[in-house]
C-alpha cells in the first residue's frame, strides 16, 4: 500500500487509523536517518507473515533517494487494547523494541509534555533500584543526533537531550505525530510479562482443536475412548458414539437429497462431526459439496446435540483436563516462579508507598539473562519483575501534612475496581482511608493476575463488564449536578456482589488445579500480608467498639459488655430473638446488630486466615493465597462508612 500525506487527527481509540499514523511517523524518521528529502516518495508494504504472532504486523518501508529505493523493515502491534487507559499504545520494533504512546488529547506545548515525563520520573526515583521503563525524549533523539565524547548514564543523557531540544526547536517534530507530542519508551533490555503469559498458554486452543480432530476413531470406537481418557469416562464415550450415529444418519440423508453418494464422503462425515465437536464450523473443502450443503451439515450437528449439550460440554471438559495433565508439568515451575516475583513486586510497591492503579501483565517488565530465557522463569531468584509506564501511579505515603496527588482515573476493566473511577476527595469521603483503598486497588489486580498466570483465563470476566456502566452513571450524575459519593455507594454494592460470586465460582471450578501450585513466599510479601491482617484486625476491633458504644439502643453496661464479647453466631441469635415490629426502637436495634454481625464475621474469618497464614511458613498454595488476598480487598472496599 502507498501511504499519502494528510492523516486524520487522532481523536479516538481506533488502532487501525492510529497505526497508519505511527507508520507515517517512522517513514519520516527513516527519511531523516538516510538524509532523504522530507518530500521523497515512499511506499509501505505489509509482509504476509510475522513470526511474532497474529497481532504483530511487519512492514517493509521503502524510500526513493538519489535515484534508488532504500528499504528497511519494522514491526508494529497494538498494546493494551483492553486497557482502560485513554492513551493508545503500540509495540514497535525499529532497530530496538519500543513502545509508542499516543495521549488521548493532543499535547502541543513542550513544557506540558516534559512535565508529564518528569511526573513519571518522580515515581521511578521512588521505586529505585527496581527496573522501570517510562517515556523519555532520548529514546528517539539519540537516533537523530549523537553527542560527541564519552557515553554517560541514561539519566544524564536524558537531561542533555532535553537541553539540546530546547535550543534546537526544529527537532521537536520528531517527538510528534500529527502535531501532537507522543511518548516513546525503550524496551530493548526487557521482556513483558503479558507476552510471557501468552507464550505460556498460547498452545491451549490449538492443542484442544488438534486433540479432537486428529484422533479419528475415538468417537466411533469407544473402547479407544476409554484407553485415552480412562475407564471412568467410558459412559461418556458411549454417549458420544450415539450422538455421532444420529449425526451420520442425518448427514447421509442430506447428501442423498443433494444427489451426492454418501459412501464417497464417509471419511468426511467424521471430520465434519469432529470439527463441530471442537467448537468450529466445518468448512467447504470438497469439490462436489457446496458451501450451502456444508452449512446445512453444521446445522445438523446443532440439531443433533441441542438436547444433549451436557454430553458435548463434558467431552470438551474431559479433553481440556487431559491436555492440562499432559502439558502442565512442563510449565508448573515457571508459573510458581512468576507468582513469587509478582508478590515480591507488590511488596516492593507497598514498602515504597506507591500504588500503580493499572497493575496488569502488560505493564510489568521481566528482567533476567536473555541467554537463559525462558528457563530462568523457573527460578525466581534469577530474575526480577519491574514496571512499564506509570501514568496512573500515585505516591500515597506522604510525609507530614502533605496531600496525596490526584492520579489519572481509570484502569483495565479485568483488573480494576470502581474506586479507580473516582476522585481522591470522593474516596476519602466514602471510605475515610484513602491510602488503604489506593494500595488495595493493586491487590485486587494481583488476585486477577495470579489466577490468569495459573489458568490462562480471566477471573472477573463478568464483573469487569459493570465498569463501563458505572462510568456512564458518573458522567450523567455530573451533568445533573448530583452526588458523586452516592454514585460510588450505590454502584459499589452490585460490583462487589458480582466480584464475590464470580470469585467463588471460578476458584471452586479450578480448586484442584489451584491447590497443586505451591508458591514460595518472599520474606517481604509475608511481612506485608501479616501487617495488613494485623492492621485490619485492629481497625475491626475499633469499629466494633465504636458501633457498640456509639449507639443508644443498648444502653446498659451489661448489654454493651455482652455485645463486645459475643461471637458472630451469638449476634445472629440475638437478632432472631427480636420481634419483627416496625417500631423505631426495634428497627434501630436490628440495624445495629446487623452491622455488628458483619464486623464480627469478618473478624472471625480474619483470625482463621491469620492462623492459617502463620502455619504456612515459607510456602502457600495459590488457592489459599487467592482466598486471603480477595478477603483482604473485599471487606474494606465493599463496606462503606
Instruction: Give the Cα separation of 251 and 243 in Å (integer).
Output: 12
Same domain assignment for residues 479 and 531 = no
Instruction: Please list the helix, strand and coil fractions of the chain in percent, rounded to the nearest 5, in that order.
Output: 60, 10, 30
179-198 core/surface letters (b: 16 or more CB in 10 A; e: else): ebbbbbbbbeebbbbbbbbe
Same domain assignment for residues 349 and 473 = yes
Strand, coil or helix: what is 582? Answer: coil
**Domain-terminating residue out of 307, 333, 359:** 307
Give the pLDDT score at 421.
95
Q: CA end-to-end span of the chain, whole Å?
A: 59
Strand, coil or helix: what is 79? Answer: strand
Same domain assignment for residues 55 and 122 = yes
**Domain-terminating residue out of 264, 288, 307:** 307
Per the domain annotation, does 327 fall within a domain? Answer: yes
Helices (H), 567-621: 568-577, 584-616
Same domain assignment for residues 73 and 161 = yes
Neighbour-count burial of 409, counting CB atoms closer than 10 A to its CB (0-12 exposed, 13-18 middle, 19+ buried): middle
CATH number of the domain bearing residue 509: 1.10.510
**Domain-terminating residue out of 307, 335, 357:** 307
Give the pLDDT score at 155.
73
Per the domain annotation, does 8 fall within a domain? Answer: no
Same domain assignment for residues 592 and 448 = no
Q: Can you list the residues of the chain whose pLDDT is less than 50? A: 1-12, 641
Dihedral sign from CA coordinates of 229, 233, 239, 245: positive
Per the domain annotation, does 97 fall within a domain? Answer: yes
Same domain assignment for residues 314 and 301 = no
Pick from 443, 444, 343: which is nearest to 385 by CA? Answer: 343
pTM: 0.81
Same domain assignment for residues 439 and 489 = yes
Same domain assignment for residues 594 and 636 = no
Give the pLDDT score at 591.
83
Question: Could you tell me the three cell numbers for 88?
Answer: 493508545
Give the domain extent around 264.
220-307
Phi/psi for 46 (5° steps) reads -80, 130
Per the domain annotation, does 163 fall within a domain? Answer: yes
Same domain assignment for residues 112 and 136 = yes
Same domain assignment for residues 325 and 440 = yes
Per the domain annotation, does 130 fall within a domain? Answer: yes
Q: Quick one: CA torsion of 468, 469, 472, 473, rounded to 10 degrees?
A: -140
Please list the residues that pair with 133 across neighbouring strands.
388
Same domain assignment for residues 330 and 443 = yes
Give the pLDDT score at 151.
67
Domains: count for the chain: 4
pLDDT in tens, 212-244: 888 888 887 767 888 888 888 889 989 999 999
Per the domain annotation, does 1 fall within a domain? Answer: no
Per the domain annotation, does 4 fall within a domain? Answer: no
Per the domain annotation, does 7 fall within a domain? Answer: no
Neighbour-count burial of 338, counting CB atoms closer than 10 A to its CB (0-12 exposed, 13-18 middle, 19+ buried): buried
Give the pLDDT score at 461.
94
Dihedral sign from CA coordinates of 175, 180, 186, 187: negative
Peptide bond into 374 cis (omega under 30): yes
Pick from 352, 386, 356: which is nearest to 368 by CA? Answer: 386
Q: What angle do CA 426, 429, 435 make, to 5 degrees?
A: 80
Same domain assignment for residues 478 and 566 = no
Amino acid at each position: 500500500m502507498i501511504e499519502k500525506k494528510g492523516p486524520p487527527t487522532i481523536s479516538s481509540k481506533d488502532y487501525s487509523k492510529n497505526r497508519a499514523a505511527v507508520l507515517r511517523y517512522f517513514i519520516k524518521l527513516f527519511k531523516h536517518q538516510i538524509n532523504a528529502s522530507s518530500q521523497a516518495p515512499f511506499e509501505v508494504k505489509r509482509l504476509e507473515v510475522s513470526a511474532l504472532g497474529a497481532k504483530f504486523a511487519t512492514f517493509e518501508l521503502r524510500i526513493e533517494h538519489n535515484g534508488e529505493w532504500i528499504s528497511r523493515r519494522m514491526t508494529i502491534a497494538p498494546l493494551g487494547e483492553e486497557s482502560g487507559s485513554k492513551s493508545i499504545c503500540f509495540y514497535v520494533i525499529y532497530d530496538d523494541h519500543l513502545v509508542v504512546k499516543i495521549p488521548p488529547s493532543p499535547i502541543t506545548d513542550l513544557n506540558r509534555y516534559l512535565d508529564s515525563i518528569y511526573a513519571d520520573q518522580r515515581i521511578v526515583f521512588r521505586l529505585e533500584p527496581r527496573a522501570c521503563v517510562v517515556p523519555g525524549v532520548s529514546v528517539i533523539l539519540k537516533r537523530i543526533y549523537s553527542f560527541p565524547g564519552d557515553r554517560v548514564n541514561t539519566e544524564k543523557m536524558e537531561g542533555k537531550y532535553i537541553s539540546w531540544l530546547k535550543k534546537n526547536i526544529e527537532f521537536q517534530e520528531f517527538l510528534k505525530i500529527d502535531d501532537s507530542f507522543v511518548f516513546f519508551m525503550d524496551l530493548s533490555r526487557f521482556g513483558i510479562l503479558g507476552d510471557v503469559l501468552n507464550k505460556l498458554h498460547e498452545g491451549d486452543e490449538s492443542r484442544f482443536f488438534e486433540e479432537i480432530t486428529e484422533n479419528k476413531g475415538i468417537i466411533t470406537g469407544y473402547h479407544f475412548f476409554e484407553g485415552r481418557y480412562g475407564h471412568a469416562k467410558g459412559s461418556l464415550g458411549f454417549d458420544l458414539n450415539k450422538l455421532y450415529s444420529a449425526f451420520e444418519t442425518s448427514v447421509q440423508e442430506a447428501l442423498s437429497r443433494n444427489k451426492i453418494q454418501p459412501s464417497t464422503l464417509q471419511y468426511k462425515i467424521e471430520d465434519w462431526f469432529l470439527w463441530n465437536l471442537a467448537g468450529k464450523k466445518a468448512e467447504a473443502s470438497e469439490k462436489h459439496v457446496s458451501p450451502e450443503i456444508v452449512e446445512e451439515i453444521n446445522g445438523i450437528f446443532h440439531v443433533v446435540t441441542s438436547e444433549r449439550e451436557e454430553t458435548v460440554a463434558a467431552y470438551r471438559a474431559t479433553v481440556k483436563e487431559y491436555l492440562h495433565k499432559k502439558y502442565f508439568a512442563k510449565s508448573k515451575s515457571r508459573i510458581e516462579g512468576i507468582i513469587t516475583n509478582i508478590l515480591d513486586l507488590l511488596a516492593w510497591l507497598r514498602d515504597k508507598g506507591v500504588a500503580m492503579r493499572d497493575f496488569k501483565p502488560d505493564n510489568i517488565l521481566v528482567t533476567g539473562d536473555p541467554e537463559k530465557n525462558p528457563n530462568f522463569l523457573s527460578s525466581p531468584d534469577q530474575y526480577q519483575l519491574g514496571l512499564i509506564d506509570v501514568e496512573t501511579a500515585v505516591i500515597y505515603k506522604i510525609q507530614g501534612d502533605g496531600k496525596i496527588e490526584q492520579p489519572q482515573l481509570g484502569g483495565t476493566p479485568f483488573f480494576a475496581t470502581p474506586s479507580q473511577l473516582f476522585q481522591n476527595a470522593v474516596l476519602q469521603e466514602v471510605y475515610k482511608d484513602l491510602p488503604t483503598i489506593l494500595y488495595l486497588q493493586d491487590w485486587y489486580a494481583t488476585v486477577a493476575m495470579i489466577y490468569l498466570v495459573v489458568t490462562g483465563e480471566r477471573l472477573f470476566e463478568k464483573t469487569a463488564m459493570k465498569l463501563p456502566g458505572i462510568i456512564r452513571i458518573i458522567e450523567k450524575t455530573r451533568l445533573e449536578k448530583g452526588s458523586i459519593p452516592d454514585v460510588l455507594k450505590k454502584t459499589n454494592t452490585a460490583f462487589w456482589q458480582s466480584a464475590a460470586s464470580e470469585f467463588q465460582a471460578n476458584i471452586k471450578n479450578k480448586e484442584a488445579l489451584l491447590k497443586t501450585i505451591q508458591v514460595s513466599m518472599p520474606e517481604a510479601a509475608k511481612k506485608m500480608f501479616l501487617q495488613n491482617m494485623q492492621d485490619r484486625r485492629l481497625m475491626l476491633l475499633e469499629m466494633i467498639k465504636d458501633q457498640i458504644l456509639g449507639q443508644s439502643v443498648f444502653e446498659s453496661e451489661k448489654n454493651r459488655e455482652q455485645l463486645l464479647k459475643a461471637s458472630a453466631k451469638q449476634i445472629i441469635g440475638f437478632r432472631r430473638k427480636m420481634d419483627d415490629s416496625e417500631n423505631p426502637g426495634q428497627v434501630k436495634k436490628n440495624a445495629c446488630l446487623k452491622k455488628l454481625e458483619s464486623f464480627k464475621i469478618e473478624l472471625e474469618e480474619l483470625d482463621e486466615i491469620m492462623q492459617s497464614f502463620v502455619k504456612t511458613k515459607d510456602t502457600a498454595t495459590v488457592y489459599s493465597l487467592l482466598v486471603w488476598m480477595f478477603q483482604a480487598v473485599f471487606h474494606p472496599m465493599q463496606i462503606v462508612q
